[in-house]
Copies of this chain bind each other. A is one copy, B any other.
C-alpha cells in the first residue's frame, strides 16, 4: 500500500474560555513520514471525542498534562496498520491507540495495541469496550461498591459511560434511575436500555424528579454532572450511601465556580462516601471488564449506542456537540 504524502491533523491554537469555539482549533495538512525502526503507520478509522479533553485544553496542572498550543491534539482512536517495520504489527491489523484527532498516525509500534477479532464494530473499542466502558465498570463496582439489588442513580445517563452504568446495574439485578437532557434521550433509556425510570433534568428541579423516580431513595449515585444533580443525590441517598464521582461536565465550561451542594452536611449523619476517580487507576480490571461486557454485548444484555459524525473536518463540531449533550451513547468521528 502506498502511503499518502500528506494527512490532516487538528492543532489547538488558543485556550478556550467557556465553551470551545472553532477558532480555538486549526486543521493542518502535514507530510506523512515513513516509519522508522520499530515504528508503524496507521490510517485512522474512528476518532474519539471525550469530556476529559476539555480539561486538558486549560493550562492548569491536572492528572494529565495540558494540550500544548500549536501542537496536534490527541485522544483515543482506532485505525488500520498501513505500514510496519515490526513483526508484531501486520499491515491490515486493527489497532487501538492515543494518536487521535488526525488522519494518519506514525509512531513506535508499542503505542498501538493490536485488537482481537471480536466480530464487533471497531468503534466499540472507543466506547462500550474501551475507556468509557471501563470507567463505568470500575466506577460502579470498585469505586461505588455496588451490590446486587441496590438502587443506583446515574446522571448523564444517555452518554457513553452512563448508558453502560445503567445496563450493568440491570444485569446485576439492581434498580436504576437515569437523568438526561432531552425527552428523546429519556425515552431511549427506558425503552431501549432497560432503565427503570428516567427524567429530563431540563424539565424541572432534579431533586423533585429524582424523588418521584426513586421514592424509596438510592444506595449509589454515579456522578457525571455535579452541581444540582449532586445536591439532589445527597438528599436521596440512604445511610452509608456511596457517590462515585466520574466527572462534573456541568462545570467543565464554567467561567465561574459551579454551584456546590448546599446539603453537604448530610454526609455526616448519613455516613456518605464521596470518591473521585480516574479510569487509569483501574487498569487491573480491564481484562475482566472486556470479558464480562463482551459476553453481555454478545448475548444482548448490553446494547451499545453511538452517535457517529463523519469526516476529519467535523471533529471540533463533534467535540462541542458532546459538551452540549448532542450525543446519545458514545460520540465518535468516522474517517473511513
Contacts and interface: CB of A to CB of B under 8 A. Distances in A.
A106 B274 CA distance: 43
Counting chain A residues whose Cβ lies within 8 A of the other chain, the interface size class is 20 to 34
Contacts of A62: 269
A198 B154 CA distance: 41
Nearest to A259: B260
B264 A260 contact: yes
Interface string A167-192: 00000000000000000000000000
A56 to B, nearest CB: 11
Interface string A227-239: 0001000000001
Interface string A269-296: 1111111111001000000000000000
A211 interface: no
A268 B245 contact: yes
Interface stretch (A109-117, A201-209, A246-254): A246-254
A257 interface: yes
A268 B278 contact: yes
A63 B268 CA distance: 9
A263 B261 CA distance: 11
A311 interface: no
A265 interface: yes
Contacts of A267: 245, 274-276
A107 interface: no
A55 interface: yes
A269 B55 contact: yes
A125 B63 CA distance: 45
Interface in A56-85: 62-63
Contacts of A251: 265
Nearest to A246: B268
A262 interface: yes
B281 A268 contact: no
Contacts of A55: 269
Given A63-B239, A239-B63, A271 B278 contact: yes
Nearest to A64: B269
A258 interface: yes
A226 interface: yes
Contacts of A247: 268
A143 to B, nearest CB: 9
A276 B270 contact: yes
Nearest to A257: B262
Given A258-B265, A271-B278, A273-B276, 20 more contacts: A55-B269, A63-B239, A226-B265, A245-B268, A247-B268, A248-B264, A248-B265, A248-B268, A251-B265, A259-B260, A260-B262, A267-B276, A268-B277, A269-B276, A271-B275, A271-B276, A271-B281, A273-B273, A274-B274, A274-B275
Interface of A: 55, 62-63, 226, 230, 239, 245-248, 251, 257-278, 281
18 contacts: A63-B239, A245-B267, A245-B268, A248-B264, A248-B265, A251-B265, A257-B262, A257-B263, A258-B262, A258-B265, A260-B261, A266-B276, A267-B275, A271-B275, A271-B278, A273-B273, A273-B276, A274-B275
